[in-house]
């Protein structure tokens, strides 16, 4: 069994954030409300204050709200609790299927590289095919949900061949530590913390299974009424991404300071992250459509959706 005390001590700095923080409920003119998680470009941007600098000439300020993972963040977006945020590939699919009025503003291709399937100490699992009949934990409607299904497909298994255990990251970490699940599909920084546990093994990385894209999303009303602010934010994030690529050591320091995640784990996460932000190209849209079709085929979303219907077009710029 994994050293439960050591793992939970490391995860102690990762409390389960509320689905929607009280101060993020009311929209205010001139305030852009951004939801973020404990990893990635948005955390660096928050630490650097670059979005605030870009929005100041537009008369805009920023309010930040932390979330534990993508689905609660997009629930807040749907309920007008925030205006903008970043998630992995699956959350916006489930949100769009639930008629959330969101748009894809930009993509971080291969941004989900820090995602994989972990095994506890003493596990007899050696291949993806060995997951048959096992209890596999992941967060429902998250990128880990999609990766689990893709991994099963690669092994010639179906979703019905495993016992899915849907748990939020903090709950899954506790289950993994006490040995009550056989495998855990999870993303950074939880992944980076847990993989350092005694005897923990990585069964598979996302990079060896399927491309995992991340997305920057906005509420449609915000995108339509404040497109200039959204475009300025994406520009600022592209600048942050370019800086991250050239300054990985400093990125790890900023992320660790901003999230409370141990520096060693943060460095592992940073080293395998591809910091590139780009538009929603035909290739990105097609890849996301395949993910949506996968969830619909398994009846995990009630009806087919069309990703292209939710892609934002930036306003024309002068010059």
Structure tokens at 9: 């001590």
For residue 302, give the DSSP letter: S
Distance in angstroms (rounded) separating the CA atoms of residues 249 and 243: 11
CA distance 213 to 44: 19
Tokens of 136: 């596999």
In three-state secondary structure terms, 233 is helix
312 within 8 A of 105, measured Cβ to Cβ: yes
Q: What is the pLDDT of residue 314?
A: 85
pLDDT in tens, the chain (319 residues): 334 444 444 444 444 444 444 444 566 779 999 999 988 899 999 999 999 999 999 999 999 999 999 999 999 999 999 999 999 999 999 999 999 999 999 999 986 678 999 999 999 999 999 999 999 999 999 999 999 999 999 999 999 999 999 999 999 999 999 999 999 999 999 999 999 999 999 999 999 998 889 999 999 999 999 999 999 999 999 999 999 999 999 999 999 998 899 999 999 999 999 899 999 999 999 999 999 999 999 999 999 999 999 999 988 765 5
Task: Round to whole Å and give the CA distance between 209 and 3.
Answer: 28
The structure tokens listed for 145 are 């949900």
pTM score of the predicted model? 0.89
Q: Is 315 left (phi over 0), alpha (psi -120 to 50) or beta?
A: beta
Phi, psi of 200 (to 5 degrees): -70, 135
């Amino acid at each position: 069994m994994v050293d439960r005390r050591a793992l939970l001590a490391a995860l102690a700095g990762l409390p389960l954030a509320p689905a929607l923080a009280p101060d993020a409920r009311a929209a205010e003119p001139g305030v852009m409300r951004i939801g973020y998680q404990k990893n990635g470009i948005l955390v660096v941007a928050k630490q650097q204050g670059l979005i605030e600098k870009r929005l100041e000439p537009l008369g805009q300020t920023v309010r930040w709200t932390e979330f534990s993972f993508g689905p609660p963040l997009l629930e807040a977006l749907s309920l007008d609790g925030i205006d903008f945020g970043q998630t992995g590939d699956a959350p916006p699919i489930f949100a769009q299927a639930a008629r959330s009025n969101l748009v894809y503003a930009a993509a971080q291709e291969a941004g989900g590289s820090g995602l994989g399937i972990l095994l506890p100490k003493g596990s007899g699992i050696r291949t993806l095919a060995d997951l048959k009949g096992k209890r596999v934990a992941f967060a429902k409607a998250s990128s880990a949900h999609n990766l689990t299904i893709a991994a099963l497909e690669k092994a010639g298994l179906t979703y019905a061949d495993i016992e899915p255990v849907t748990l939020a990251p903090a709950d899954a970490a506790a289950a993994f530590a006490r040995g009550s699940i056989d495998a855990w599909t999870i993303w950074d920084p939880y992944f980076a913390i847990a993989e350092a546990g005694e005897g923990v093994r990585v069964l598979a990385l996302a990079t060896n299974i399927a491309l995992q894209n991340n997305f920057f999303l906005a509420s449609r009303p915000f995108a339509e009424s404040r497109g200039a602010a959204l475009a300025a934010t994406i520009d600022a994030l592209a600048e942050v991404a370019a800086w991250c690529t050239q300054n990985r050591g400093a990125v790890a320091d900023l992320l660790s300071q901003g999230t409370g995640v141990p520096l060693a784990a943060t460095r592992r996460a940073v080293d395998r992250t591809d910091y590139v932000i780009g538009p929603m190209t035909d290739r990105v849209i097609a890849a996301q459509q395949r993910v949506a079709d996968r969830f619909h085929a398994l009846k995990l979303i009630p009806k087919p959706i069309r990703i292209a219907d939710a892609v934002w077009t930036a306003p024309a710029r002068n010059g």
